[in-house]
Structure 1
Amino acid sequence: MSQETPMLLATRELALAQARTLARLGRYAEAEAILADVRDDGAPSVALLDLLARVHAQQGRLEEADAEWAEAERLAPGTPQIAEGRRRIARARARRTTRAAWPAVGAVSAVALVAVVLLIVPDSEDEKDAPAPPPRPSPRTADVLAEMNLRVPGAVVRRSGGELSVAFEKGLFRDGVRLSRDGRAVLTALGTRLRPYATRVSVTVIGHTDGRAVPPGSSYATNTELGTLRATVVREFLHDGAGIPTSRFTVSSLGAASALDQGGSPARNRTAGLRISAVGQG
């Protein structure tokens, strides 16, 4: 069995956090796509299988959910939440087999699935969003930017006045609001560098898109909405990876006006930029 590096493990954990955030927002297709990418990277973990099962259950895909839970159960026999999920699936299946009661099955199954929905994110996950204590005053607050070293592969960092700007050499997103593997890796590395300063900085995240109009039938009404959602995904990723309180982030987008490359490859514009300043500065 190959050994997984700490960086790979950290990247997977943050990918799970991103998928969990998207699932909370009801964006199950994006959450499932991220989980599929993580699964392709290596042997699936119990946490990945459990979350994927819950996403499938919320979409009404009971057979797939049960298969994921069965695989998780083989890896971790006796896990209470997995056993409970499988029991709910079994009850829903049993009701489906009663043809005479078919009109009531939809409502009964929905009740079972709502119960599964309540289990998608354990209560302990919510503790991550608890307000962080205010930072202790420090005479070195104004020097925090000079202390920071955010130069990681794939990121371009510049200082201008009282803030650091961070751009990325490649687009962070594969499509829509789904981070690429390279995007997750560079954000993971950046989060590690930011963590020691989590209570001393504020971060503005600017989501970018290309200059083309959003086509009819798209999941996003406008480029501004798409750019803002991309900024939100990056915010959540860095919140989990760096421990920066959500209240210290600002997300924004200028939509099509934010395109970095008006005539080039759309991939260049599937990204976000950061502006980092010391708390109370700029």
Structure 2
Amino acid sequence: MTAATQAVREVTVAQARALARAGRYAEAEELLDGEHGPVVLDLKARMYAQQGRLDEADRCWAEVAALSPGDPGAAEGRRRIAQIRAAASPRRFVLARSVFRLGTAAVILLAFVMLADIWQDRDEPATPAPVPSSRPATTPTPSTDPIAALKLKGPGLHAVHRTGEIEVTFDRGLFRRDATLTPRGRAVLANLGRQLRPYADQLSVTVIGHTDNRAVHPGGGYASNAELGMLRATVVREVLRSSARIPTAQFSISTLAGLLPPHPGDGASRDPRNRTVSVRISAAGGR
């Protein structure tokens, strides 16, 4: 590669990095189209991870590892993706506490922290998981308007139809104090996923992570409530992707941290119901 070509590549990568930091991922990807090499692949992986496109991020980091054996960033990225997938798994096991920061290249913030899934949140009274109906499930015929056809219901789930979309909130918090789903939260999400499955190819889903307004504790493993909210959104995305079988590209994730909680009021800052997400469902292509 000539010095001129190398200079052009460096400028291209810098421009793509700036676009990614501004959330303009599609433009950044277009700039990087046709570019190769560990630096470009790492940047793409970080962009994909920030958008919740974990499969693509993992593939990019795998290529980085093949091109640059022992690359610490690629190894760490793949390990954290495995942790997120493990957090969305129905199995119960203890996860080691750790922190993941993707650095400054194209990612504003994405830190994943997993704590032990072995105790019941003390602020959340024990509630049995919803019991599935004994009646056989029926599979509706897909409609040309899936939003009109969807009639979402179930214990702990509240769905509101608006113009062109359905907003889903939850009566109780889905998470413990961290990003670990409660058994009841997992059951509610599984029920939602089963109802979305007949329309999987026709839906776009946005998952918004929420937290309370209290500042995170120093040394607790989270840099901010935004980190915690993003991780909660990512965990829910993985559960719904698995249960609803909606393609990865039809999801997006974001967080409002402690702003605009689903359960506002004087006690919202400490309300365990706000340890949750909200889900917005629209027709694919219309988001």
**TM-score scaled to structure 2, two decimals?**
0.51
Supply the distance in 2 between the matched residues of 1:144 and 1:217 (Cα, whole angstroms): 45
Q: Note if 1:281 corresponds to 2:286.
A: yes
State the partner residue of 2:206.
204
Residues 85-100 of structure 1 correspond to what in structure 2 (within 5 A)? Answer: none
State the partner residue of 1:271.
276
Once the two structures are superposed, residues 70-122 of structure 1 have per-residue CA deviations (whole angstroms, 9 ceiling, x without a partner) of xxxxxxxxxxxxxxxxxxxxxxxxxxxxxxxxxxxxxxxxxxxxxxxxxxxxx
Aligned partner of residue 201 in structure 2, secondary structure = coil
State the partner residue of 1:18.
89
Aligned partner of residue 146 in structure 1, secondary structure = helix
**Ranges in structure 1 where 5+ consecutive residues have no aligned partner:** 1-13, 42-137
* Residues 15 and 184, structure 1, Cα contact 8 Å, conserved in 2: no
Aligned partner of residue 179 in structure 1, secondary structure = coil
Q: Once superposed, what is the RMSD of the aligned Cα atoms?
A: 3.5
Aligned partner of residue 196 in structure 1, secondary structure = helix
State the partner residue of 2:168.
166
Supply the distance in 2 between the matched residues of 1:157 and 1:273 (Cα, whole angstroms): 10
Per the TM alignment, residue 264 of structure 1 is displaced from its structure 2 partner at its CA by 5.6
* Residues 210 and 256, structure 1, Cα contact 8 Å, conserved in 2: yes
Supply the distance in 2 between the matched residues of 1:170 and 1:36 (Cα, whole angstroms): 14
Per the TM alignment, residue 218 of structure 1 is displaced from its structure 2 partner at its CA by 1.6
State the partner residue of 2:149.
147
Supply the distance in 1 between the matched residues of 2:190 and 2:281 (Cα, whole angstroms): 16
* Residues 17 and 240, structure 1, Cα contact 8 Å, conserved in 2: no
State the partner residue of 2:244.
242
Supply the distance in 1 between the matched residues of 2:113 and 2:285 (Cα, whole angstroms): 39
* Residues 204 and 274, structure 1, Cα contact 8 Å, conserved in 2: yes
Q: Pick from 196, 203, 217: which aligns with 1:194?
A: 196
* Aligned residues between the structures: 168
Aligned partner of residue 213 in structure 2, secondary structure = coil
Supply the distance in 2 between the matched residues of 1:241 and 1:173 (Cα, whole angstroms): 18
Assess, with a 3 A threshold, how the Cα gap between structure 1 residues 35 and 211 changes in structure 2: closer, same or farther: closer
* Residues 261 and 268, structure 2, Cα contact 8 Å, conserved in 1: no
Per the TM alignment, residue 208 of structure 1 is displaced from its structure 2 partner at its CA by 0.4
Supply the distance in 2 between the matched residues of 1:31 and 1:255 (Cα, whole angstroms): 19
Residues 59-70 of structure 1 correspond to what in structure 2 (within 5 A)? Answer: none
* Residues 210 and 258, structure 1, Cα contact 8 Å, conserved in 2: no
Supply the distance in 2 between the matched residues of 1:16 and 1:213 (Cα, whole angstroms): 24
Aligned letter for 1:252? S
Q: Point out the structure with the larger helix share.
A: 1
Runs of 4+ in 1 over 2 A off after TM superposition: 14-20, 22-32, 34-37, 258-266
State the partner residue of 2:23.
none
Aligned partner of residue 199 in structure 1, secondary structure = helix
**Percent identity of equivalent pairs:** 46
Assess, with a 3 A threshold, how the Cα gap between structure 1 residues 150 and 263 changes in structure 2: closer, same or farther: closer
Larger CA Rg, structure 1 vs 2? 1
Assess, with a 3 A threshold, how the Cα gap between structure 1 residues 206 and 247 changes in structure 2: closer, same or farther: same
Per the TM alignment, residue 229 of structure 1 is displaced from its structure 2 partner at its CA by 0.5
**TM-score scaled to structure 1, two decimals?**
0.52
Supply the distance in 1 between the matched residues of 2:96 and 2:283 (Cα, whole angstroms): 30
Q: Note if 1:33 corresponds to 2:117.
A: yes
Per the TM alignment, residue 258 of structure 1 is displaced from its structure 2 partner at its CA by 3.7
Residues 170-185 of structure 1 correspond to what in structure 2 (within 5 A)? Answer: 170-185=172-187
